[in-house]
Amino acid sequence: MAMQVAAPSRRRPSLGRQKIEIRRIESEEARQVCFSKRRAGFFKKASELSILCSADVAAVVFSPAGKAYSFGHPSVECLLERFLPDSSSGAAARVRRGANNNGGGGMVGELNRQYGELRAMVEAHKARRERADEKIEMERAAGRWLPMDADVRRMSPEELMAFGTGLMAGQAAVSARADQMLRDALLIGRRPPTTTTAGFGFFHMPHY
């Protein structure tokens, strides 16, 4: 492998950072490198957020390979205890029951209420949309849509679109990742991660 003699006076050592689109990085190598860099940056952000704003933050990341990393202030477990009970105890069950019974009361009503805020925001956007004309084309790529629940009958088209998109997005994510999750789960099983402290919260790093 012949190496070129660097010509420092003429050639730039680097093009510097290039803009990239937020989509899966195809190159296995580049993806790995990016993961390492961004994971570090991500945890740093978590740390700064917790310190600057006195907020409690927990973050867990699973690498494509199945290794688990995490950050938690005060600790991941602690925050999960606070976060989970609320959504798993009575809420979900109650919601579900209500849906089966009348499909429009209780939680759904609340959902709709909250939707009012969102709607307001969307409205605000429309109000500000003065300069914009182009590519209605992309739309086609969107494919088919599917608005559901939350009393869609009362939503404006815009809201329906937004909601449907969001819904699909979530489901898409779940479906698309189901297989990998399964694989990961089987692959990693559950091994106790090593724990280290990084500045503020706790970092759990995987050991190989």
**Residues engaged in binding DNA (CB under 7 A):** 3, 6, 12-20, 29-30, 32-34, 36-38, 40-42, 44-45, 48, 121, 123-124, 126-128, 131
Considering only residues 58-87, where is the footprint of a copy of itself by CB under 8 A? 58-64, 68, 70, 73-87
Which of 4, 28 has the CB closer to a copy of itself?
28
Cβ within 8 Å of residue 159, ≥6 positions away: 115, 118, 119, 122
Q: How far apart are the first and last CA of the chain?
A: 33
User: In this structure, how many other beta carbons lie within 10 angstroms of the beta carbon of residue 58?
Assistant: 21
**Residue indicated by tokens 């927990």:** 58
Q: How far is the CB of 203 from a copy of itself (least distance, A)?
A: 9
108 binds, among a copy of itself, DNA, none (CB under 5 to 8 A by kind): a copy of itself
Distance CA 22, CA 165 (A): 18
Considering only residues 110-129, where is the footprint of a copy of itself by CB under 8 A? 110-115, 117-119, 121-126, 128-129
Q: How far is the CB of 132 from DNA (least distance, A)?
A: 11
The SS3 of residue 8 is: coil
State yes or no: residue 11 binds a copy of itself (CB under 8 A). Answer: no
Which of 15, 141 has the CB closer to DNA?
15
Q: What binding mask, one character per residue, do residues 25-54 give for a copy of itself by CB under 8 A, x or -?
A: x-----xx-xx--xx-xx--xxxxx-xxxx
Which of 4, 100 has the CB closer to a copy of itself?
100
Is the link from the previous residue into 74 a cis peptide, with omega within 30 of 0? yes
Contact with a copy of itself (CB under 8 A): which of 7, 11, 16, 139?
Answer: 139
The 201-205 sheet, strands edge to edge: 68-73, 201-205, 194-198
Is residue 203 within 8 A of residue 195, CB to CB? The reply is: yes
